[in-house]
Amino acid sequence: MGNWFFESHKGFKYGYKINKVLYDKKSKFQRVRIAQTESHGRIMILDDIVMLTERFEFIYHEMMAHIPLFIHPGAENVLIIGGGDGGTLREVLKHRSVENVDMVEIDEKVLESSRIYLQSISSQFHNKRANIIVGDGIEFVKNKKEVYDIIMLDSSDPVGPAEGLFTAEFFCNCYRILKKDGIFIGQSESPFYLKEYFKNFYKRLKRIFPLTRPALTCIPDYPLSFWSFLYASKKYDPVKHFVKKRYRESRIKTQYYNEDIHLATFSMPNFAKDLLK
Amino acid sequence: MGNWFFESHKGFKYGYKINKVLYDKKSKFQRVRIAQTESHGRIMILDDIVMLTERFEFIYHEMMAHIPLFIHPGAENVLIIGGGDGGTLREVLKHRSVENVDMVEIDEKVLESSRIYLQSISSQFHNKRANIIVGDGIEFVKNKKEVYDIIMLDSSDPVGPAEGLFTAEFFCNCYRILKKDGIFIGQSESPFYLKEYFKNFYKRLKRIFPLTRPALTCIPDYPLSFWSFLYASKKYDPVKHFVKKRYRESRIKTQYYNEDIHLATFSMPNFAKDLLK
C-alpha cells in the first residue's frame, strides 16, 4: 500500500496517508483491509474502495438507522442486509422499541476485521438483541415471511458481491417480508457517481412501494460526496408523518442526525430532481 | 503539473487528471492556474488549492447569490468582495431588481484567466449592470457610505491575500455600508476544515449584526466537502422571512438552489451546532 492509499476513479482520485495496515485478507468475495490513517482514523477498504472512515462513518450510519426508526411508531423487528462493520446495528440498537435485529452479512472477513479493529463501530455485535447471520441477503429474503417492521439495505456498490441487491426481484421480496406498515431504506449511490444505479433503484422501488422518496446527504468518504438513500414505505411518509419532538424526547445521542436534518435531507436540489423525472 | 494535480492536506489529498494546462501565471498575490481535467471540466487553482471546477461551481455560486437575493424584497445595489471568476456575478444578475453590482477583485490575473478560459463562468463581465473594480476589498469598504442592499464575501481561504477579510474591522465596515435592511453573506470555510475560522467568523459577525445564521452545504470541490456560508442581516431572518413562491415566480433557472434547498441549508447537524455553541 506504500505510505498512501489512493481510491481511483475515472479522472480523479482520493489519497489517504497510511500509518499502518492492520488487516489485509482476501475473502471469497473481496479483499478486505483495515488501515490506520493520519487524518481519518481507521478506514475499511473493500477491494480498492473506501467503505468507511472512523472520522465520518457516523453520518452514513445515523441516516440509515434513524430516518426510518423515527418515522415508524414502534419498530420491533429490523433486518439489516449487509452492514457487516456494525455501524448501522449500533445506531438501530439505540432505539428501545427494537427487540430483534437480524443482520445478514455475506462476508465473514468484514465481520472479523471490524470486530477486531473497529471496535467503536462493531460495539453491539454481542448485544442480546442482535442476531448476526453470515449469509447471502438475496437468499435470506426469499425464504422469509412477513415479519419485519424495517429493512435496511446497507450494502457496498452494486458491482461485485452486492450486485443482486439492486434488482426488482430482491425489492419484491423485501416488500413481501415487511409488515403492513413496513419501511425500506437503502443506500443508493449518488446523483453524480454511479448515477444510473441511483435512477434505476428509484424507479424499481417506485413500481413496488406505494411511497418512495429520495434523501440526499453529504458523505465525505464517498466519491464526489453527494450520497443518496432511498426511503420506501407501505404507509408512512417520511416528512408528513414525522413527529419532530420524538427525537428530543428519545434522548438518543447522535452527531449528525436531528429533527431538522431529518426533514432537510428530503429536499432535492434541481439537478437531482431532474435526474429522477 | 505532470498528468495529475494533487491538492494536498494534512493526511489526505485530492487528485485530478490534467489533460492540458491552459493558464499559469504568477500574480502579485498568488499563482493562478487554469487546467483542463478529464472529469471536472476546467478548474481554477490558486496557489495549490482548487478554487472551482466547471463541473460543480454552480453549487457554491448559486448558494452565495440566491440565498440573500430571495430574502431581500428588492435588492438594487450589490457588492461582491472577491469573486473574480465571475460565477457569483453571473447568478446575481439573474435577478431583475438588481441595478448595479460592484465587484472588487484584488487579483487581475484571476479576472484575466477566467475571462479567457472560463467563459461559462465569466459570462457577465460585460453586463452593463456590472462594475468590476480591481482593488483591495478591505480598503474599498473603508471608504464607502451606506449604499448596499447586499454584500457577498466571495473570497479564497483566510490565508494569503484574503486574510484581512475575516477581521472584526472588515465586518464592521460591511455593516456600516449596508442599508438599514441590508444582508451580508460570506463563504466561511467548513466545520471540519479550518473549523476555527468558521467558529471565529460566526462569533465576530454575531457581535456586529442583530441576526447571524450559518448555512451548510455539500461542495465536492472543497476539502472534506461540508462547506459553510454565514448569513448576517440587519432585519431579515433567512427562514422566517422567506417566501417560498418567490423562487418559482421569478422563473430564474438554477441547477442546485430552489425553495426547499434554501430552507434545508439552514438546518445544522449536531456536530456543527456543538461547534458554534
C-alpha cell at B267: 438546518
Residue-wise pLDDT tens digits, A31-90: 999 999 999 999 999 999 999 999 999 999 999 999 999 999 999 999 999 999 999 999
B103: exposed, middle or buried (C-beta count within 10 Å: 0-12, 13-18, 19+)?
Answer: buried
Residue-wise pLDDT tens digits, B218-270: 999 999 999 999 999 999 999 999 999 999 999 999 999 999 999 999 999 99
Do residues A170 and A219 both lie within one domain? yes
Do residues A40 and A61 both lie within one domain? no
What is the rounded CA–CA span in Å between residue B271 and residue A61?
15
Do residues B34 and B61 both lie within one domain? no
In angstroms, the separation between the Cα of residue A8 and the nearest Cα of chain B is: 9
Q: Which domain holds residue A77?
A: 57-275
B156-182 average pLDDT score: 89
B40-62 average pLDDT score: 98
Do residues B99 and B31 both lie within one domain? no
The CATH number covering residue A143 comes to 3.40.50.150
pLDDT of residue A163: 78
Do residues B48 and B63 both lie within one domain? no
Instruction: Specify whether the CB–CB gap between A218 and A226 falls below 8 A.
Output: yes
C-alpha cell at A276: 429522477
Do residues B17 and B113 both lie within one domain? no
Q: What is the DSSP letter of A73?
A: S
pLDDT value at A144 more than 70: yes
pLDDT of residue A252: 98
Which is higher by pLDDT, A275 or B2?
A275
pLDDT of residue B1: 55
DSSP secondary structure of chain B: -TTEEEEEETTEEEEEEEEEEEEEEE-SS-EEEEEEESSSSEEEEETTEEEEETTTHHHHHHHHHHHHHTTSSS--EEEEEE-TTSHHHHHHTT-TT--EEEEEES-HHHHHHHHHH-TTTSTTTT-TTEEEEES-HHHHHHT--S-EEEEEEE---SSGGGGGGGSHHHHHHHHHHEEEEEEEEEE---SSSSHHHHHHHHHHHHHHSSEEEEEEEE-TTSTTSEEEEEEEESS--TTTT--THHHHHHT---SS--HHHHHHTTPPPHHHHHHH-
Residue-wise pLDDT tens digits, A152-210: 999 988 777 777 788 899 999 999 999 999 999 999 999 998 888 999 999 999 999 99
Taking contacts as CB-CB distances below 8 angstroms, the residues of chain A near B268 are: 260-261
Instruction: Specify whether the CB–CB gap between B208 and B168 falls below 8 A.
Output: yes
pLDDT of residue A2: 62
Nearest-CB residue to B39 (from A11, A255, A271): A11
Nearest-CB residue to B269 (from A11, A14, A258): A258
Do residues B81 and B186 both lie within one domain? yes
ipTM: 0.95
Whether A48 is catalytic is no
Place of cell 430564474: B252
Average of per-residue pLDDT values in chain B: 96
pLDDT of residue A236: 98
Q: What is the DSSP letter of A107?
A: -
Query: Are the Cβ atoms of B39 and A256 closer than 8 angstroms?
Result: no
pLDDT of residue B104: 98
Instruction: Specify whether the CB–CB gap between A229 and A189 falls below 8 A.
Output: no
Do residues B91 and B29 both lie within one domain? no
Whole-structure pTM value: 0.96
Q: In chain A, how many domains are there?
A: 2
The CATH number covering residue A12 comes to 2.30.140.10
Query: Are the Cβ atoms of B255 and A270 closer than 8 angstroms?
Result: yes
Do residues B23 and B45 both lie within one domain? yes
Do residues B13 and B98 both lie within one domain? no
Within 13 Å of residue B149, how many CA atoms lie on the same side as its CB? 18
Do residues B49 and B105 both lie within one domain? no
Do residues B15 and B147 both lie within one domain? no
pLDDT value at B161 more than 80: no
pLDDT of residue A1: 55
Instruction: Specify whether the CB–CB gap between A236 and A182 falls below 8 A.
Output: no
B176-197 average pLDDT score: 94
The three-class DSSP label of residue A134 is strand
Percent of chain A clearing pLDDT 90 (strictly above)? 93
Query: Are the Cβ atoms of B220 and A217 closer than 8 angstroms?
Result: no
Query: Are the Cβ atoms of A258 and B270 closer than 8 angstroms?
Result: yes
A7-32 average pLDDT score: 97
Taking contacts as CB-CB distances below 8 angstroms, the residues of chain B near A225 are: 218, 220, 225
Taking contacts as CB-CB distances below 8 angstroms, the residues of chain B near A224 are: 220
Query: Are the Cβ atoms of B11 and A264 closer than 8 angstroms?
Result: no
If pLDDT is split at 50, 70 and 90, which confidence band does B2 have? low
pLDDT value at B120 more than 60: yes
Average of per-residue pLDDT values in chain A: 96
